[in-house]
Chain A
């Protein structure tokens, strides 16, 4: 237990901050994922074959390639790509991007592919009559989406989005390979300096279990809120 003490003698505070970092990366990645889903869901549902192709390409490639490989692409390729863009604008200095940004971008793109599939499924399972009724009532496109489709879609999407959240949360453990100090990385450091890997990795497992358990409870509440009337 003294290994987990707060302050200089133990790893308690370090692991606490690492847990906060994991939560921060997961939330950022989830939001980045929503942003990508917002772009690619309409593409997948579009009438045009070419746009469909682009949407399908994104979800198929990301869901068929290991997360770790995507992270390596971002980790090794990220600053190169940014420097290339910068060189167009005449900036030739070395640019290093923050591990937090690289990590949450990489996980966000992965999470986005799963979110896209969830949103696509949810929109497709809304009754066609709802779209038609909204059109007949003369509601503009904006109102149609935000007041009629979105609330119904969220009810259907939340159970599946909770799965995406779990995947995203667990995927953040992979960005420890880039050196961002989240739960896994901190446990690795602690295990290395105390030579007690069994304890620290088991404790990391407990932390992840706690995170998934608490988030499940919160999401269940959200689910109840959005299924009012059903």
Chain B
């Protein structure tokens, strides 16, 4: 055990954690809206729209995240037309490519979580709203969405942790996130176990925090069924 290495690499890894957190929060933020959007599409009665939303979530849940990042980072740059548009400003940056890939990925999982949450809402609750003369729009925003958010909290907590682990793939497109820096230190010092303990410890700490925040929120928003 090389404790000196563990101590000297800790601040470097902590700095890289900031990149991980930035990637995570950005993709979760955009992914939540994307997920909500596609979950609403899934509830649409139009078969074509429904199939489109299903296809999106099927493709992104059925392929590895690594493939998705590579298609966006290496693949899209190949299209000549894209290079002339303003999109190229975003797509040439590995940072934004990673965020786009993570957003699309977490959006697919989030849409499934929210869809099943919407579907488990008892029809009686919606009927009660209707019989009170509340408009469909308000029923959706004030009744369905809050209940769906509460229902999906445990599953969404898991998704946040999965996404946090997913951000480690950013290191494959040259970003120096926590895993990227850990790999760099391992490959220069050849001390994998020490670095793994420190980097893994930081990841576990983040998992612990996320887990407890979700648990707290679950308790706070719990209601009698």
Contacts and interface: CB of A to CB of B under 8 A. Distances in A.
B179 interface: yes
A208 B74 CA distance: 18
A82 interface: no
A64 B74 contact: no
A174 B62 contact: no
Contact of A202 (B71, B169, B172): B71
B203 A198 contact: no
Chain A facing B: main interface SS? helix
Nearest to B208: A64
Contacts of A201: 67, 70-71, 74-75
B187 A69 contact: no
Interface stretch (A2-10, A11-19, A72-80, A122-130): A72-80
Interface residues of B, number: 40
Contacts of A173: 64, 66-67
A176 interface: yes
Nearest to B203: A65
B168 A184 contact: no
Interface string B166-210: 111101100000010011001100101100100110011001100
Contacts of A191: 74
A208 to B, nearest CB: 5
Given A65-B203, A196-B78, A77 B192 contact: yes
Given A76-B192, A205-B59, A69 B179 contact: yes
A177 B124 CA distance: 52
Contact of A208 (B64, B165, B204): B64
Given A76-B186, A184-B67, A198 B62 contact: no
Chain B facing A: main interface SS? helix
A69 B63 contact: no
Nearest to B59: A209
B192 A72 contact: yes
A66 B66 CA distance: 13
Contacts of B161: 63-64
A82 to B, nearest CB: 13
A60 interface: yes
Given A73-B193, A184-B66, A208-B62, A68 B204 contact: no
A212 interface: yes
Nearest to A171: B64
A204 interface: yes
A69 B64 contact: no
B172 A177 contact: yes
Interface of A: 60-61, 63-69, 72-73, 76-77, 80, 166, 170-171, 173-174, 176-177, 184, 187-188, 191, 195-198, 201-202, 204-205, 208-209, 212-213
By Cβ-Cβ distance, the 10 closest A-B pairs, closest first, are: A66-B168, A198-B75, A77-B192, A173-B64, A64-B207, A197-B74, A76-B192, A66-B165, A170-B64, A212-B62
Given A66-B167, A201-B67, 18 more contacts: A64-B161, A66-B164, A66-B179, A67-B165, A68-B172, A69-B168, A72-B183, A76-B186, A76-B190, A77-B192, A174-B169, A177-B172, A187-B70, A195-B78, A196-B78, A197-B70, A204-B70, A212-B63
10 contacts: A69-B199, A72-B182, A72-B196, A170-B63, A171-B64, A173-B66, A197-B70, A198-B78, A208-B62, A212-B63
